[in-house]
Amino acid sequence: MSATPRVRIAAAAVAVPLVLVLASCDNDKEKAKAAATATCPANITQTTSTPLPSDVPSPGGTVYDYNTQGKTQFWFAAIDGGPDQLASLRDTYNTTLTGKGYKIEHTDQEKGAEAEAEFSGPHEGSTQFIPLCSGKVRVRIKLTS
């Protein structure tokens, strides 16, 4: 096989996943935009029966849902805010986490769609802030240890 066909194959191998990733980012932004103006679900005012561990600070608002996948635990909270505040809400919670002995390992955001952080310390895990409904942001707290 000559170099030209190999280059074309390699270019296609890189281009296809890149296009898929970019398309999914646009889809996330569209979902976030729609969520930001949606009516809020009734269940976000009810507190879950499984509270956050005592050494994990609350993000504020109402922790309204809890579930597990194996040993991984997830809590969901509804806090006041909108799409333009996702990164600042995440940063405020990161400050609260570091004040409780956690270390922020990584942050990431897509403007108006989501803001995330990974942390270590008393527990390892991550947070995700996305628009939930009109005037509310959903915070997912995921603990893996």
Name the residue ranges covered by the structural domains of the chain. Answer: 35-143
Model-wide pTM > 0.85: no
Instruction: Please give the mean pLDDT across all residues of the chain.
Output: 87
Condensed to tens digits (0 to 9), the pLDDT of residues 82-136 reads 999 999 999 999 999 999 999 999 999 999 999 999 999 999 999 999 999 999 9
Q: Looking at residue 31, what is its pLDDT? A: 80
Q: What's the CA gap between 117 and 140, in Å, rounded?
A: 10
Q: Looking at residue 30, what is its pLDDT? A: 85
Written as one string, the DSSP assignment of 17-78 is HHHHHHHHHHHHHHHHHHHHTSPPPGGGGSPPSSPPPTTS---SSEEEEEEEETTEEEEEEE
